[in-house]
Structure 1
Amino acid sequence: MSSSASSAARAATSERGILFTLAGVQFTHIMDFMIMMPLGAGLMRVFNISPTQFSYLVAAYGLAAAITGFAGGFFIDRLDRKRALLWLYAGFGLATLGCAFAPTFHWLLAARVAAGAFGGVAGSIVMAIVSDVIPPERRGRGMAVVMSAFPLASVIGIPTGLILVDMFEWHAPFLMLAGLSVPIWFVASRFLPALPPSPIKTHPVRQMWEIMTHGIHLRGFMVTAALVFAGASVVPFMSPSLVANTGLSESQLKFVYLFGGAATFITTSFFGRLTDRHDKIHVLAGVTVFSIATAIVVTHLGPTPIWLTLIVTTVFFVTMAGRFTPTMAMISNAVEQRYRGGFMSVNSAVQQAAGGLANIVAGMLITREATSGRLIGYPRVGWIAVSAFILTVVLAWRLRSIAPHASRPGHTAITPIVAE
């Protein structure tokens, strides 16, 4: 083997190792958020809380992440990304441990705030590292590897968590996540490369002003908000609705996440390849058509055989995840490297704020029928989500209109951004 081929092989191995390590960080971060969804019916029963109060538990994580993510925009680009990630991930693990031992609804709410404050910013740094390390022509596949944490959390994490709930009550999944974060932290400290900050001469406030007011950045933030709002309005109440409205038992919920996660994991690399080979806006638009159809069906389900429920929810999971790969690759490509860490931190804040707002809006529209226990108002949430799906494509098209290189397949360089 020639020296150049050997160097290329080592680089590819190193690249894969970095991506898998970052995927591990994302796995625990995403599962910590997602595990609240199937726990909804149980937590509402254990703490005797309403659907609106449950929506606060879900939204607390996102809103806390939004606040700290925005604050991170001032300084993230001035820190070594590896060190920042390790500190934040340690805080995330401790906060998750606090969730496990929360004795009341309000203590659990406080622990969710702390987990979101650390986990949300850690997630934004993960995405910044991917953008820094992976060249643009392979960034779609790189994003797909890291974002495979979502289906893995569904196919492995959540069913395991629900089995632990059946055996040891609702505390067990949080204990599992806190324990799992320890070896992942040590792997990250050993294998992630040091990524010193780019030399920045501008004042942090000036840097933040440039991030927040740049025309391309603003359009990227709007795309992110619509992207997240669409899914976050439907997903938190899917499990309670399946139990209350379609006749699924709480013990059968694990199959929803098992099948949905497995299918999403299989299709994630496919969406990554599509993203790298085709115009990203076309990939997003195509997936969105199926997202709209399945969202309407999921939010209107009544008593349904389990086999049909599993088909519908599986397609829903696949299309939800499929929208993120082309969208995040396009947004990442549009941003210059010197802004990327701060932009991703603020973008994470936008993402979490949009998710938290969607959770609260859905919680306000959904009520429980006193006599039957059915959840009412979920179909209205579905139509709101459909509007957000369409808006995502429209806003992504507007981003491409001023940053065409960001959507172009297989480009190898990022065109310098000129402020509007």
Structure 2
Amino acid sequence: MAHSAADSDDSSATAISPSGDAANPQLTAAAPIPGARKALVLLLSINLFNYVDRYILAAVEKPISEEFGVSKGQMGMLVTAFLLTYMIVSPVFGWLADRVSRWWLIGTGVILWSIASGASGLAMGFATLFAMRCLIGVGEGAYGPVAPTVISDLYPVSIRGRVLAWFYAAIPVGSALGYVIGGFFAKPGQWHWAFLLTLPPGILLGVFCFMMKEPPRGGVDAAKPHKATLQDYKSLLRIKSYVLNCAAMTAMTFAIGGMAFFMPRYLEEQKGIPLDRASMYFGAITAVGGLLATLAGGMAGDALRNRFGGAYFIVSAAGMLVGFPIFLAMLYVTEPWLLWTLLFFAVFCLFFNTGPSNTALANVTHPSVRATAFAVNIFAIHALGDAISPAIIGVIADHSNLQTGFLLVSLTILVGGVLWLWGARYLAADTAAAPTSLGNK
């Protein structure tokens, strides 16, 4: 999307610095909006419980399968049902979030998925549990594409990367907590409590959302108010950095989603590590490595953006390109200490892009369409990513082994890195153009 002097309130042309904003007064707000920290803490807490709720099921799926008498394939359908519902409804809520109070949408979504998660503990059969996973997908669809846009309207571009990194750091930590909490109740007749315990904190967090003040859309970006049209939404596809970012994130999600699903089994079958130990160690590595990488990636992107216009993409690409050979090496080592070391650094590298890539999504889109932009991204990365990669690895493993499946799917790590490098050349100009890309049309 071109940005020229005609698009500015000033009659003189706007100079673009290497970061894309140093000479642009519309992007130089230095301070967050009052109340930003309280909002961030609330949204981070919600995101933490979001991933706790998601991964409790993985920890207790065996006793559920035995109690209901269903196969592993049917249990896998619970994950598919959640992801399909989540990615389908996300664009709907993204569109609504561009028009109505986002805090009310978030609060409603949190309460809905908390009720559905708690009700999972009362399920007396597989059909009820399946329906509850779908409802969790609806609730998270009202939250996932909306929360990052609130943070983006609270914090200026100069520090947005590290702030969003804190928000997304809840992913590895919440996932690991889900395994831990679920593990305490992974016994016949006790798995119900794992779900029931998620209900009170979820309801409480949802209620807090209704007390929050809606931040002005694009306030820290100095973006002009604009009622988005269908053409505005179509214009997202003309933002090269946005499209390439979505493609790179899809490649990354494809790789991580498939390999994370089968990693404990891979460690047992290919490396001879007992399943309980494999799950515990892998969960700990994901929590620590993912947390450190998410925070470090966000800080690195913010630190380098004044020197390199495409810093967020360069940082993202670096993690993928360095992580690729480390992951390949992990597949072929036999010494346990070296295996766990390489796996830790592979996880670190693959999570390094989380903060920068999501920050770039916010920075290159006008606030009037930002929620929809995040929703479209959610749809793409799941529909073409982790919704299909576990099945692909499974089919390959059925005809060969998990080693071969991991080897082939890991090639998408390399693809993601190349796509981010490609997009880096467009990021600065797209960031500078975003605040006025719609308002002056």
Q: TM-score range by the shorter chain?
A: 0.7 to 0.9
**Is the CA contact 1:155–1:261 (under 8 Å) kept in the aligned structure 2?**
yes
Tell me which residue corresponds to 1:5.
none
Cα distance change of structure 1 residues 174 and 321 upon mapping to structure 2, 3 Å threshold: farther
Deviation at 1:80, TM superposition (A): 1.1
Is residue 138 from structure 1 mapped to residue 159 from structure 2 by the alignment?
A: yes
d(CA) in 2 for partners of 1:300, 1:29:
35
Give the match's secondary structure for 1:122: coil
Tell me which residue corresponds to 1:31.
52
Tell me which residue corresponds to 1:4.
none
Q: Which has the higher helix share?
A: 1
> Residues 308-328 of structure 1, C-alpha deviation per residue, up to 9 Å, x if partnerless?
554344334323321212221
Q: Which segment drifts farther, 171-180 or 73-82?
A: 171-180
Report the AA paired with residue 411 of structure 2: S
Cα distance change of structure 1 residues 320 and 193 upon mapping to structure 2, 3 Å threshold: farther
Cα distance change of structure 1 residues 244 and 384 upon mapping to structure 2, 3 Å threshold: closer
Q: Which segment drifts farther, 162-171 or 57-66?
A: 162-171
d(CA) in 2 for partners of 1:13, 1:295:
43
- Please point out which of 214, 219, 223 is paired with 1:194: 214
Deviation at 1:97, TM superposition (A): 1.8
Is residue 256 from structure 1 mapped to residue 282 from structure 2 by the alignment?
A: yes
How does the TM-score come out when normalised to structure 1? 0.81
Deviation at 1:44, TM superposition (A): 5.3
How does the TM-score come out when normalised to structure 2? 0.78
Cα distance change of structure 1 residues 12 and 336 upon mapping to structure 2, 3 Å threshold: closer
Cα distance change of structure 1 residues 266 and 403 upon mapping to structure 2, 3 Å threshold: closer
d(CA) in 2 for partners of 1:106, 1:313:
37
Is residue 272 from structure 1 mapped to residue 275 from structure 2 by the alignment?
A: no
d(CA) in 2 for partners of 1:57, 1:214:
35
Tell me which residue corresponds to 2:193.
172
**Is the CA contact 2:51–2:175 (under 8 Å) kept in the aligned structure 1?**
no
> Residues 310-365 of structure 1, C-alpha deviation per residue, up to 9 Å, x if partnerless?
43443343233212122212222211222111111222222332321223323433
**Is the CA contact 1:300–1:379 (under 8 Å) kept in the aligned structure 2?**
no
Give the match's secondary structure for 1:117: helix
Report the AA paired with residue 412 of structure 2: A
Is residue 383 from structure 1 mapped to residue 407 from structure 2 by the alignment?
A: yes
**Is the CA contact 1:406–1:414 (under 8 Å) kept in the aligned structure 2?**
yes
Tell me which residue corresponds to 2:427.
403
Is residue 356 from structure 1 mapped to residue 387 from structure 2 by the alignment?
A: yes
> Residues 14-53 of structure 1, C-alpha deviation per residue, up to 9 Å, x if partnerless?
3322212111111122222233444455555555555544
Tell me which residue corresponds to 1:122.
143
- Please point out which of 328, 341, 345 is paired with 1:296: 328
Cα distance change of structure 1 residues 289 and 401 upon mapping to structure 2, 3 Å threshold: closer
- Percent of matched pairs sharing the same residue: 18
d(CA) in 1 for partners of 2:268, 2:203:
34
- Please point out which of 246, 249, 252 is paired with 1:227: 252
d(CA) in 1 for partners of 2:332, 2:59:
19
Is residue 326 from structure 1 mapped to residue 347 from structure 2 by the alignment?
A: no
> Residues 133-167 of structure 1, C-alpha deviation per residue, up to 9 Å, x if partnerless?
11111011111110110232145443233123259
Report the AA paired with residue 363 of structure 2: N
d(CA) in 2 for partners of 1:172, 1:244:
31
Tell me which residue corresponds to 2:26.
none
Is residue 153 from structure 1 mapped to residue 178 from structure 2 by the alignment?
A: no
Deviation at 1:185, TM superposition (A): 1.9
Cα distance change of structure 1 residues 200 and 404 upon mapping to structure 2, 3 Å threshold: closer
**Is the CA contact 1:40–1:239 (under 8 Å) kept in the aligned structure 2?**
no
Which structure has the larger Rg? 2
Tell me which residue corresponds to 1:372.
none
Give the match's secondary structure for 1:337: coil
**Is the CA contact 2:293–2:349 (under 8 Å) kept in the aligned structure 1?**
no
Q: Which segment drifts farther, 269-278 or 168-177?
A: 168-177
Deviation at 1:377, TM superposition (A): 3.1
Cα distance change of structure 1 residues 316 and 176 upon mapping to structure 2, 3 Å threshold: farther
Unaligned runs of 5+ in 2: 1-28, 219-224, 305-310
d(CA) in 1 for partners of 2:387, 2:324:
21
Report the AA paired with residue 194 of structure 1: E
d(CA) in 1 for partners of 2:189, 2:344:
28
Unaligned runs of 5+ in 1: 1-7, 369-375
Q: May I ask how many residue pairs the two structures share in their alignment?
A: 397
**Is the CA contact 1:334–1:414 (under 8 Å) kept in the aligned structure 2?**
yes
Is residue 113 from structure 1 mapped to residue 143 from structure 2 by the alignment?
A: no
Q: Which segment drifts farther, 40-49 or 266-275?
A: 40-49
Cα distance change of structure 1 residues 337 and 10 upon mapping to structure 2, 3 Å threshold: closer
Give the match's secondary structure for 1:69: helix
Cα distance change of structure 1 residues 216 and 326 upon mapping to structure 2, 3 Å threshold: closer
Is residue 97 from structure 1 mapped to residue 111 from structure 2 by the alignment?
A: no
**Is the CA contact 1:280–1:326 (under 8 Å) kept in the aligned structure 2?**
yes
Tell me which residue corresponds to 1:86.
107
